[in-house]
Amino acid sequence: MKKTINSKTIVFIHGLFLNNKSWTEWEAFFKEKGYSTYTPAYPSHEGTPSELRKNASDSLGYVSFTDVINKMEAFIETLPEKPIVVGHSMGGLVAQKLIEKGLAEAAIIISSAPPKGVISLKFSFAKSNLALLNPFKGNSIHYPTKKWFHYAFTNTLSREESDSIFDKFVVPESRNIPRETLKKAGKIDFKKPHAPMLFISGKEDHIIPASLNKKNFKRYTDDKSIKEHKIFEGHDHFITGEEGWEEVANYVYNWLK
């Protein structure tokens, strides 16, 4: 089955605990390839990560998954053509929703947060996610620790390398974004025909195990729609930013061609 992807516009969608600053190198890579690129941030996620860790907006704790979807939809409506969406982690699930709504010409789903009903029984998944989802924490903002980040995001790196990435990119987070994906807002119509989708996983990912991303991929059942799943050996959840990200970006570029 042959795919034709004509769009030269890419919207990069970040995940939880990061903001649009995490896409800087990918933007440069795809601009050099002739694409127009955009990196809209989630509501209350705009700014420099180090400053956000010191002075998070009071509104951050109330930001929901629906708020994120609404902002991305509104942004896409301002573009001159239907874009390709590239989403990492929670951004991957956002990209899946945008595909479901017919708002993207293609999607790259990188280590996606799972839609409602797609679950993992792996210990690393539970250990990485439970503190954020804690129902007793209400609307309080979640501030990740460097120890947690090393386990959940950058487990293939040294602690020193991980801490450097944390200082550069990590932001505090809303608990209500992932909580709402467990409800109707996080549901995907897997039977619906869809635009081409490439799922990417890191083999060593703790927070979104490759097996979970594969379950997500396999739920799509329309045999006339194009989909592919690629697992990268030796990569963890920060597959988009750690050493070797260029291999992943090149794979995406060649797939889009």
| CATH number, domain containing residue 215 | 3.40.50.1820
85 is a domain residue? yes
What confidence score (pLDDT) does residue 104 get? 98
Q: Sign of torsion, CA 185 148 29 234? A: negative
147 is a domain residue? yes
DSSP string across the chain:
--------EEEEE--TT--GGGGHHHHHHHHHTT-EEE-PPPTT--S-HHHHHHS--TTGGG--HHHHHHHHHHHHHTSSSPPEEEEETHHHHHHHHHHHTT--SEEEEESPPPPTT-----HHHHHHHHHHH-GGGTTPPB---HHHHHHHT-TTS-HHHHHHHHHHH---B-SHHHHHHTSGGG---TTS----EEEEEETT-SSS-HHHHHHHHHH---TTS-EEEEEETT--TTTTTSTTHHHHHHHHHHHH-
What confidence score (pLDDT) does residue 27 get? 98
What confidence score (pLDDT) does residue 3 get? 78
What confidence score (pLDDT) does residue 4 get? 85
What confidence score (pLDDT) does residue 2 get? 67
Buried (b) or exposed (e) across 152-164, using 16+ Cβ within 10 A? bbbbbbeeeebbe
4 is a domain residue? no
2 is a domain residue? no
3 is a domain residue? no
Q: What is the pLDDT of residues 31-82, one digit of tens each?
A: 999 999 999 999 999 999 999 999 999 999 999 999 999 999 999 999 999 9
Two tokens, residue 231 = 């697992």
CB atoms within 10 A of CB 103: 20
What is the domain extent for residue 24? 9-256
Residues (pLDDT < 70) of the chain are: 1-2
Number of domains in the chain: 1
What confidence score (pLDDT) does residue 38 get? 98
230 is a domain residue? yes
179 is a domain residue? yes
27 is a domain residue? yes
